[in-house]
Structure 1
């Protein structure tokens, strides 16, 4: 597979530099019969991506130059030492009428191809199946668990990023363990006995992602800027958790103890179910997307209730009304974050920027009147944020300026 990817990258580079021979073209046509190869070739020849990547290289070079100048001044290094230690001072060019002047842009293009293959080395796409099947499949890439905290009893906080794998603490006297795939709470075996009322909290910061095994063996994945609250051991009659932000659940079946999820404005009753819930406060909308099983979604005032089947969504609107949406596209979009993707479908600027700010740990400032145009697109979490902003800029008539961790958005003059 790696050999095929490398060959496609070589042919993509020759295509961009107008250097494809007749035999190369025949070989490329044959390789592009495979949809996976088509997707890779399109990504490698996407000028929007290349421009963003080259811009990122320029920014990185400027940052390294600035750092080097500080080091050089501090240690009185001479120019020849600088050249020996840091030889790569390359200049980059821009596209003219979407064509490449081959000699001038060889390094940026080659750098982009190498960067793309490295970033996506484990992202071989698996075609999705419909939600009516047992599961929905995605690309093999998932975000690494980072920027997460476990808040224990007595307000003791454990930074999970800083802890090595193994036992990181205790819950009611039983070990809680961390591994490369997340945090695991001990499965409670005493569900019929009185238990201490100890609330556990796992939360992620902006740019964070973390999986957790709950005390009943169910699993929950937390998206960035999210949290899950639960008892250290569920009692004998029910299992209850509370969520803010966004989380994907894979709930263990237990006919004797229903599983409940509380989130702002809604309560969910689930039975051995896989579903996603999105409840960010800034969105003013709560979405429950069912992948497998059965979920009953009820407003907190008990005035409206919806039962979902696989492939359906329950949406609590800004007007606090429950609505049902059907269609696999909505489910795929709602759960794409778990496989490391952004999927935009008729999303406005604010909705997209909110997602980018949460993942890339950014702030936003709006100036002037922002158009209400909507956008479609698909990106990976590993893509530079400049790439996605460039995509919006090209299609929206909006100017985006990044100042450190702040994005300033204003209409073009």
Structure 2
């Protein structure tokens, strides 16, 4: 009988037990008065923790593989740059042709234009790096930390970077791979949140026009502060993300009752990052592979991402359509094909006039 109980418990924890088997398990557990066993809720908690640890280990393994791929590309770029320098000592015309082809090859990575640069501090002024609208910029900061800037995003840091703290300001979205230095904490500030780290990998999204800001942690630990509530510190652990509403005042000025806002859109929401089995990275960082990913997001948020990706302007003429939720990802699809794909799962219409799109 004990063996049968454990078989049923295994099925329950795996989500494979039928209603009849669940009823049988409950009856058997009630009969085991003299047998010392863990409470069912305790067993479920241990099971979930073990499953989460396994998922986190898989995620770190996938990120390590992706990180190695980026390092290999960087080494190749360095080798090609050295070849360019060697060619410079030969024929000038040949150098120009070679340089053009090498730059074109170096720009194409993972289906997106990459612009790589190593940053050095310029005395007496702040340093500002802006990614082009059609590509991703990869930056190496003076301390060796690496930053990937998504399309149109901007990173700024002063010439005292690293003196006491390593402070940077971000508008847009970036992925950070921070060199560990306990004596000089790394601080990322946006218009809504501030993140303090020692050494870690994490993604930050904070565009000025977006309704929310988001920080997703891949590895390490970060301390996040919402600037409107600076006395409260939030610690994120690996595979966790936090979403913050950017403009509470706009929410309160809308026609939605305050109690409904509190129920439907919490000012701060903590959740797990989303990792599909076939993806190399969590959806929050798939833009590094030139993929537009969204996980149960409303259409209004997805439209903002589409505007940045396709350089278009999207207008909604139906408030209900804004609230439609979708999960998916696009990579090589045109804006028209992407909208057609979304249209297969929800009822809405759209019309395209050059760069202007109306959804109704």
Question: Fold conserved (TM > 0.5)?
Answer: yes
Q: Which residue does 2:241 correspond to in 1?
A: 313
Structure 1 residue 129: deviation in Å? 6.3
1:83-132 Cα offsets, whole Å, 9 max, x none, are: xxxxxxxxxxxxxxxxxxxxxxxxxxxxxxxxxxxxxxxxxxxx996345
Query: What is the root-mean-square deviation of aligned Cα atoms in Å?
Result: 3.2
Residue of 296, 299, 324 corresponding to 2:270: 324
Say whether 1:355 aligns with 2:305: yes
Q: Which residue does 1:373 correspond to in 2?
A: 324
Residue of 209, 212, 219 corresponding to 1:285: 212
Is the 1:132–1:310 Cα contact (8 Å) retained in structure 2?
no
Q: Which residue does 1:204 correspond to in 2?
A: 131
1:119-164 Cα offsets, whole Å, 9 max, x none, are: xxxxxxxx996345583656979xx9xxxxxxxxxxxxxxxxxx98
Shift of the 196–206 alpha-carbon distance from structure 1 to 2, 3 Å rule, reads closer
Residue of 349, 356, 359 corresponding to 1:399: 349
Structure 1 residue 244: deviation in Å? 0.8
Structure 1 residue 400: deviation in Å? 1.6
Q: Which residue does 2:226 correspond to in 1?
A: 299
In structure 2, how many angstroms separate the alpha carbons of the residues matched to 1:369 and 1:310? 36
Q: Which residue does 1:334 correspond to in 2?
A: 284
The two structures have a TM-score, normalised by structure 1, of 0.53
Is the 1:138–1:339 Cα contact (8 Å) retained in structure 2?
no
Is the 2:216–2:273 Cα contact (8 Å) retained in structure 1?
no
Is the 1:251–1:272 Cα contact (8 Å) retained in structure 2?
yes
Structure 1 residue 343: deviation in Å? 1.7
Structure 1 residue 370: deviation in Å? 3.9
The two structures have a TM-score, normalised by structure 2, of 0.60
Q: Which residue does 2:142 correspond to in 1?
A: 215
In structure 1, how many angstroms separate the alpha carbons of the residues matched to 2:62 and 2:347? 42
In structure 1, how many angstroms separate the alpha carbons of the residues matched to 2:288 and 2:167? 23
Structure 1 residue 328: deviation in Å? 4.4
Structure 1 residue 260: deviation in Å? 0.5
Structure 1 residue 235: deviation in Å? 4.0
In structure 2, how many angstroms separate the alpha carbons of the residues matched to 1:180 and 1:285? 27
Q: Which stretch of structure 1 is more off in the superposition, 224-233 or 317-326?
A: 317-326
Identify the structure with the greater helix proportion: 2
SS in 2 for 1:398: coil
Structure 1 residue 325: deviation in Å? 1.4
SS in 1 for 2:143: coil
Structure 1 residue ranges without an equivalent (≥5): 1-126, 145-162, 167-178, 189-194
Is the 1:130–1:136 Cα contact (8 Å) retained in structure 2?
no
Shift of the 294–348 alpha-carbon distance from structure 1 to 2, 3 Å rule, reads same
1:309-357 Cα offsets, whole Å, 9 max, x none, are: 1101122135484332124439811111111112222122211111111
In structure 2, how many angstroms separate the alpha carbons of the residues matched to 1:323 and 1:202? 30
Using CA pairs under 8 Å that are at least 6 residues apart, name the structure with larger relative contact order, 1 or 2: 1
The alignment covers a number of residue pairs equal to: 244
In structure 2, how many angstroms separate the alpha carbons of the residues matched to 1:362 and 1:263? 25
Is the 1:366–1:408 Cα contact (8 Å) retained in structure 2?
yes
Q: Which residue does 2:178 correspond to in 1?
A: 251
Structure 1 residue 206: deviation in Å? 3.4
1:387-412 Cα offsets, whole Å, 9 max, x none, are: 111112222221121111111111xx
